[in-house]
Structure 1
Amino acid sequence: MRALPTVMAGAPKSLGEGTAASIQAHGVLAGLDSEGLVTHLSANACELLGRLAPVLGERLRLEHVAGDAQLLASLSGPQSTNFFEADALRHRQVALNGRSFDLLVHRHPGPTLVEWEWCQQEPMRQELGPALHRIVQNLRRQDTAQALLEEAVRSVRAVTGLDRTMVYRFRREDVGGGGDVVAEACIPELPSFLGYSFPDEAIPQATRRLCQLNAVRLIADAHSQPVPVFNLDPSARPLDLTYAVLRSPEPLPVDYLRQSDMGAAMTLPLMIEDQLWGVIISHHRTRLQVPYPTRSICAVLAELVSAQLQSQLAQDRIARERQLEHLRSTLLDQMQSAVETAQVLSARSQEIAEAFGAEAMLVSHQSSLHAHGPVTPQLWSTLRRWLSESGVDDGHAYATDSLALAAPALADELGGWAGLLSISYDASSQGRILLLRRERLDTVTWGAWPVLSERARTLHLVQSSEETLRGFSKPWAHEDVAALDALGADLRRLVAARVAEMHRYRDAVSAMLHARPDTAASPGTDEPEGRFERVLHQAMELSLLRQGVRPLIRTPVDLGELLAERIGAAQQRHHGTSIYFETPAVHEGEAAIAVQGEPDRLARLFDGLLENAVRHGHAGESVVVRVGREGSEALVEISNISPPIAESVVAALFSPTVPAAIDDSRSGLGFGLYVGQTIALAHGGTLTYTYDDPFVTMAVRLPLEPAP
């Protein structure tokens, strides 16, 4: 995105500074102290009110307030210091000096403000009730947010007669700020602004704050000069006119109107959950003072639109949250009985991606990558490595709509992908969910806005232009991020429960493996029902096997065929895992590499070693399996890229009391290497560990089958 110029340096720094001591020319303003004395008065009081103009240092008289003695009495005396308890605004219509005025009294904390706004146009009176009823009914009939906004601009324009009325929606700060024109009603003679975008500088924060505090803001004549407000005490600070109807506008919007050949403007806030969601902005080609009663009607309509818009957006959000909650509940139900959470997530990856509006998804677990969508394994590995190193998704969901900005070092590898939503749910086993969105090539039409020339210190208008934005995806909604956060929390609790359960079974199996032959019960012939009952059954057999009580049933086993079968099974369990199988060339007449053994036991040996290699190897790197002859022995080596095992641990590597850090108790009971060594020893062989940077290798040696 192009660099945007900074806003005018002379803009008000706070709501009480800058132009706060001046008003627009179509009215008179007075400020009263707690005794009812006029302490502030606009310079045009005599011009508009003649001999009835208030006088600095004196009290107002009955004729100033349409003979309302009660109102006059209320202008003096103590005020509430609580804004919400203050008498915020009173309105009367009065006739002074041959002119009609809307009399407005503000009783906020601080000086009381009294304004006389000159009525130069008759407010809408004919059939006001029926007309408003029709407008309200039309607004309430709209069943989508967009339809509501389109009806709102038509209604406001119909009530005011302004040439153009738009809804300008502010973007979230986390997706770049600024805003867009999302609805418009306009006369044919003016160009449409619908779809135009504007940077943050177009509506500064001070202006937005004023929109929040005032139900309606009017610039009646962009070409008139502001009228100063005199102070009875020249040394006192200028009067704060934040809530004044006649308050002079900031220089930026006035200059924008002038350079755009517009004469008047009106702004209505759209508030959602007490935040400024957007504004209804109206422009007119000539000077136009929309009467105060008409503006009040528009303010009520804006509040109605805000309430209905908030309700519609809430309904949309609730429907979205329910959809994601149903998916989350379904996943958790399936995970309760699954061996690995990653398998459930992988099996439903397409459904999950579609629910989150993603075009690709990755579930990583240990060294396995379960991918959905057209993303290269290299990019998946790169993203996972970046997330692990940066830790941005540890403990909570991480979202960005521009990976190129979030991780500039990866920009050349993204290949059109831009949005990432991810969470790490199990750091120990590298458990992580990644969702990707493609880059969205948007042609943005930038509307014209005024900026300050640093050299000449004058305002000039940046002309409209088009720009193609690259490197950004559709932003992730708050509901998406919250849903993945909730799923991640559920997965962390599930993993913690599994680990605790594994430790309980680990203790039971450890006791069984150390049982004496005469005390170990012989396994029955009935197949145990539960998963851990089967594990205990196998542990009992293993104990008897290691102690020589349980003999092997030996048959010739072709190691090449057996390994190919077990490698295929491992790749089925860990979709996306690369396992390279290296076998020696077989010459004519040469026998296959075969041993005498029990096929099921040997299969369990190689399954366990393959599982360890896949689990502990670096993500995206291949596991390498070699089989060959070495003298009178068959040699099988299973290698993976991984850091070496600490020397203090290697000595106890094949012990049933090995720490859980070696055998990951999230996926098993932690006896894998002990089981493997037991099976190798029972076949007259060995199982050993070596490290040759960067490979960890487990080597199985078994006696070759004697030649016939």
Structure 2
Amino acid sequence: MKSSSIVPMSAAPLVDLQSCADEPIHIPGFIQPHGFLLFFGSDGMLEGWSANLPGELSSLQAGAHFSALPLPAAAADLVGECVAGLDDGETAPAFAAIELGPIHYDCIVHATRGRVIAEFESRAEAADTVALFAVKAHSSIERVRRQKNVDSLLETAVRQVREFTGFDRVMAYRFREDDSGDVVAEARRDDLVPYVGQRYPAGDIPAQARRMYVLTTLRMIATTGYQPVPLLGAPGALPLDLSYSVLRSVSPIHVEYLQNMGVCASMSVSIVINGRLWGLLACHHMAPKQVPYSIRMAADVLAQVMASTIQSIEAQRDAEQVEQAARVRTSLVESLLIDEEPLDALAHHAEALQAVTGSHAMVCVHNGKVVSFGAIERATAEAVVRSLPTDGSDLLVRDKLGDWPVATRPELGKWVGMLGLPFDPPGGGWCLLLRTEQIEQVAWAGRPEKTVTHGPLGARLTPRGSFDAWHETVLGHAQAWQAPVQSHARLMLSELLRASNARRAQTESTRAQLLAMLGHDLRDPLHSINMAGTLLERGNNQPTLGKRIQSSSSRMQRLISQVLDMSRIDGGLGLGMQFEPIDLAALVEDMVDEMRHAYPTITYDYNAPDATLVRADAGRMSQVLSNLLSNSRHHGQIGHAIRVALKADAGWATLEVANNGTPIADEVEATLFNPFKRGALHNPRNRTGMGLGLYIVATIVREHAGDIAYRHEDGQVVFSVRLPLAAMEGADAT
């Protein structure tokens, strides 16, 4: 006879969907009826059992030592090993196949919270049949292990699991960041409605159930129509934690959910990666079905192999993305440190930045100047810029239309996703990566809303009864900026800020240099003018004084003009171009003739071509040519001609100015079009130059939608300027 001190243990209260998130599903107080359970204290003394003990164990007494119980030797050995091996109240499950009377059992013993739990799960299949299934399972594991991408891995897994378990349907879920799940692969009986492609809301798996899926990676329900068997224990005993139990009774909410789907038996196998529920293999059968423990463990091992393989595939993909992003960051920062204009550096890397972030367009702004890349309208780009916060200093993430200021939304069109990098807050510098709206047709597995209805547990919120696909069109959402992309963007932002700060510090340093240089370089011509004026005042007849005054005044004018131009460029004002059609050939010819008269000892080789029409500011283009000719005069080898050439080809006008000379040093070439290079060049024939000429020339050419380049060829230093012909106005460079 059983001890009269044994009573039903406390169980979890009945719950509905309003309280299911708090349901203590790990201590249900019941087990499923296809087996029985004994539990012991850490000293091996029997504390309780399930109410469905077989007749062979009908005379159990609470407080008896496990060794005194009429258990098969294999089962007693497992309990003894578990008691002896308790480590902080826990042990891993151990398994043995036993017989008790005429019935075959799988005996599984484990310990949790200082209690040893022995479960005896009945098994209809003979051991040799189970062994054949185990061989099949091993083959399936090998097939899964060989897959090279996640999609094929999941497709292979559902087919293999269905083959060696015999379920009517096996589905692979993949969970999203919001914990909703998509059925991404399926193997099923031909007459069943397919579920692949459907999405299930996050509420289908409450938080505590999700925790259990991580703790216990395999769950079996032999039949949803079972009657739970209560656990019996001493009065007032703590509820038995069944977190790792194979017989644990499941929530009535979950049972009703499965019944609404027409499912009679189910098995779930968790795919856990880095402690997070990444996915799930869900197995459904339309009739009662019990899979032997060893076959279930094979499915569990397969899921672990899947998790490891998926983690390797994703780690390799992430490593490639990290490497690609690092290359783009390094190249961009190098360009920012070398190129004086941040927008030019960003423009040069626009395509790579869009590729590495998965964006469809890019908008950049600095000192009020806006440039865009990709198929985005100018008005939309300006609206995006107007929406930016004035005090932005951190990554700005917008995934959907609702993330934008209300006033901006009507102007956005399809551009609803944005990742904003404020790379130069003092200068209002932003790099904005944009994604278009992703209109998504979501096939929900039934309407995801919960409704009040009469279920088996009475009038309450109940799991939905229909799992026919319910389609919803999701508008105003872009593809969310994934965590790795945001992580790369933050690294990029950090490096861009450092580069901007370095450039700003350099600018402050050059301002100080500029003042010192102006003080020095203007002192000489002022002194000459002052001395000439004194001599004129005394009435001496000095014919060279007028020329000296004119020369000194010209030097001062040139220096002051360059400083004013740099000030306009540095302030983001531009150079105030006035574009009109001009004949570049005539302009060059006039400038060369002027130089021939001014410097009769220097030979200029130039053959004027036919009229070459461009849209340009004639004064600024004269300034470009004057600077290039001046450079050739100061840096070219004495006694050699300066070559000037102009040609038109494929929609572009190309102007070249060349002089004999040695190649420019690599370290100087890297900053050739930056200001303040006087210390780098050390040319005694140009002591008063401040290194602003080529910087201003490059800016003028850029504002004409052209480009400027240096090369050394056949013993000559060659500067070439390309400008679009008038018929090609606004065309992209090829």
Could you tell me the TM-score, scaled by structure 1's length?
Answer: 0.69
Residue 99 of structure 2: which of 91, 95, 101 is its match? 95
Residue by residue over 1:611-668, the C-alpha shift from the partner in whole angstroms, topping out at 9 and shown as x without a partner, is xxxxxxxxxxxxxxxxxxxxxxxxxxxxxxxxxxxxxxxxxxxxxxxxxxxxxxxx98
Verify the 8 A CA contact 1:103 1:114 in the aligned structure 2.
Answer: yes
2:31 aligned partner: 23
Pair 1:349-2:363 in alignment: no
1:311 aligned partner: 312
Pair 1:64-2:71 in alignment: yes
Letter in 2 for 1:91: F
Residue by residue over 1:375-425, the C-alpha shift from the partner in whole angstroms, topping out at 9 and shown as x without a partner, is 33343333333332473xx23x33332132454553333212222112111
Verify the 8 A CA contact 2:79 2:118 in the aligned structure 1.
Answer: no
Cα distance in structure 2, aligned partners of 1:144 and 1:207: 29
Report the aligned-residue RMSD.
Answer: 3.9
Verify the 8 A CA contact 2:50 2:229 in the aligned structure 1.
Answer: yes
Unpaired segments of 5 or more residues in structure 2?
1-14, 529-548, 581-616, 625-673, 677-734
Rg larger for: 2
Specify whether residues 460 and 348 from structure 1 end up closer, same or farther in structure 2 by C-alpha distance, changes over 3 A only. Answer: closer
1:244 aligned partner: 245
Letter in 2 for 1:278: G
Specify whether residues 480 and 72 from structure 1 end up closer, same or farther in structure 2 by C-alpha distance, changes over 3 A only. Answer: closer
Tell me the CA shift for residue 521 of structure 1. 11
Pair 1:33-2:44 in alignment: no
Pair 1:403-2:408 in alignment: no
Verify the 8 A CA contact 2:25 2:251 in the aligned structure 1.
Answer: no
- Residues 423-442 of structure 1: pairs in structure 2 closer than 5 A: 423-442=421-440
Cα distance in structure 1, aligned partners of 2:345 and 2:316: 30
Cα distance in structure 1, aligned partners of 2:284 and 2:193: 12
- Residues 3-152 of structure 1: pairs in structure 2 closer than 5 A: 8-11=17-20, 13=22, 15=24, 20-45=28-53, 48-52=54-58, 54-60=60-66, 61-67=68-74, 70-74=77-81, 76=83, 79-81=86-88, 86-122=90-126, 124-125=129-130, 127=132, 130-152=135-157
Letter in 2 for 1:242: S
Residue 461 of structure 1: which of 458, 461, 464 is its match? 464
Classify the secondary structure of the residue corresponding to 1:428. Answer: helix
1:475 aligned partner: 480
Cα distance in structure 1, aligned partners of 2:520 and 2:197: 77
Cα distance in structure 2, aligned partners of 1:79 and 1:398: 52
Cα distance in structure 2, aligned partners of 1:181 and 1:137: 23
Classify the secondary structure of the residue corresponding to 1:509. Answer: helix
Tell me the CA shift for residue 286 of structure 1. 0.7
Letter in 1 for 2:460: R
Verify the 8 A CA contact 2:526 2:552 in the aligned structure 1.
Answer: no
Tell me the CA shift for residue 227 of structure 1. 1.4
2:222 aligned partner: 220
Pair 1:491-2:491 in alignment: no
Classify the secondary structure of the residue corresponding to 2:158. Answer: helix
Residue by residue over 1:124-150, the C-alpha shift from the partner in whole angstroms, topping out at 9 and shown as x without a partner, is 435456534432332122111100111
Tell me the CA shift for residue 345 of structure 1. 0.7
Specify whether residues 163 and 317 from structure 1 end up closer, same or farther in structure 2 by C-alpha distance, changes over 3 A only. Answer: same
Cα distance in structure 1, aligned partners of 2:404 and 2:167: 44
Pair 1:503-2:508 in alignment: yes
Cα distance in structure 2, aligned partners of 1:67 and 1:138: 34
Cα distance in structure 2, aligned partners of 1:389 and 1:28: 68
Cα distance in structure 2, aligned partners of 1:41 and 1:578: 90
- Residues 283-302 of structure 1: pairs in structure 2 closer than 5 A: 283-302=284-303
Classify the secondary structure of the residue corresponding to 2:48. Answer: strand
2:613 aligned partner: none
Classify the secondary structure of the residue corresponding to 2:389. Answer: helix
Cα distance in structure 2, aligned partners of 1:273 and 1:522: 77
Classify the secondary structure of the residue corresponding to 1:514. Answer: helix
Cα distance in structure 1, aligned partners of 2:380 and 2:31: 60
Tell me the CA shift for residue 522 of structure 1. 10
Residue by residue over 1:292-322, the C-alpha shift from the partner in whole angstroms, topping out at 9 and shown as x without a partner, is 1110111111111111111011111112222
Tell me the CA shift for residue 516 of structure 1. 8.7
Tell me the CA shift for residue 186 of structure 1. 0.8
Specify whether residues 554 and 517 from structure 1 end up closer, same or farther in structure 2 by C-alpha distance, changes over 3 A only. Answer: closer
Residue 418 of structure 1: which of 406, 416, 419 is its match? 416
2:646 aligned partner: none
Cα distance in structure 1, aligned partners of 2:110 and 2:181: 32
Specify whether residues 251 and 387 from structure 1 end up closer, same or farther in structure 2 by C-alpha distance, changes over 3 A only. Answer: farther
Classify the secondary structure of the residue corresponding to 2:192. Answer: coil
Tell me the CA shift for residue 339 of structure 1. 0.9
Classify the secondary structure of the residue corresponding to 1:267. Answer: strand
Verify the 8 A CA contact 2:354 2:361 in the aligned structure 1.
Answer: yes
Verify the 8 A CA contact 1:202 1:450 in the aligned structure 2.
Answer: no
Tell me the CA shift for residue 491 of structure 1. 1.2
Cα distance in structure 2, aligned partners of 1:451 and 1:93: 44
Cα distance in structure 1, aligned partners of 2:344 and 2:220: 61
Verify the 8 A CA contact 2:391 2:425 in the aligned structure 1.
Answer: no
Classify the secondary structure of the residue corresponding to 1:280. Answer: strand
Verify the 8 A CA contact 2:44 2:65 in the aligned structure 1.
Answer: yes
Specify whether residues 578 and 270 from structure 1 end up closer, same or farther in structure 2 by C-alpha distance, changes over 3 A only. Answer: farther
Residue by residue over 1:73-132, the C-alpha shift from the partner in whole angstroms, topping out at 9 and shown as x without a partner, is 3454683227xxx42111112212321111111122332111111113446435456534
Size of the alignment, in residue pairs? 542
Specify whether residues 289 and 158 from structure 1 end up closer, same or farther in structure 2 by C-alpha distance, changes over 3 A only. Answer: same
Verify the 8 A CA contact 2:525 2:556 in the aligned structure 1.
Answer: no
Tell me the CA shift for residue 51 of structure 1. 4.0
Verify the 8 A CA contact 1:15 1:242 in the aligned structure 2.
Answer: no
2:635 aligned partner: none
Cα distance in structure 2, aligned partners of 1:554 and 1:100: 107
Classify the secondary structure of the residue corresponding to 1:64. Answer: coil
Cα distance in structure 2, aligned partners of 1:516 and 1:427: 35
Residue by residue over 1:454-479, the C-alpha shift from the partner in whole angstroms, topping out at 9 and shown as x without a partner, is 89215242533111111112222333
1:196 aligned partner: 198
1:162 aligned partner: 167
Specify whether residues 520 and 167 from structure 1 end up closer, same or farther in structure 2 by C-alpha distance, changes over 3 A only. Answer: farther
Cα distance in structure 2, aligned partners of 1:366 and 1:422: 16
Tell me the CA shift for residue 207 of structure 1. 1.3
Letter in 1 for 2:287: T
Classify the secondary structure of the residue corresponding to 2:294. Answer: helix
1:649 aligned partner: none
Identity %: 27
Tell me the CA shift for residue 512 of structure 1. 2.9
2:709 aligned partner: none
Cα distance in structure 2, aligned partners of 1:332 and 1:24: 63
Cα distance in structure 1, aligned partners of 2:16 and 2:437: 30
Unpaired segments of 5 or more residues in structure 1?
1-5, 524-546, 556-561, 584-599, 608-666, 670-708
Cα distance in structure 2, aligned partners of 1:390 and 1:181: 43
Letter in 2 for 1:260: M
Specify whether residues 243 and 126 from structure 1 end up closer, same or farther in structure 2 by C-alpha distance, changes over 3 A only. Answer: closer
Specify whether residues 130 and 454 from structure 1 end up closer, same or farther in structure 2 by C-alpha distance, changes over 3 A only. Answer: closer
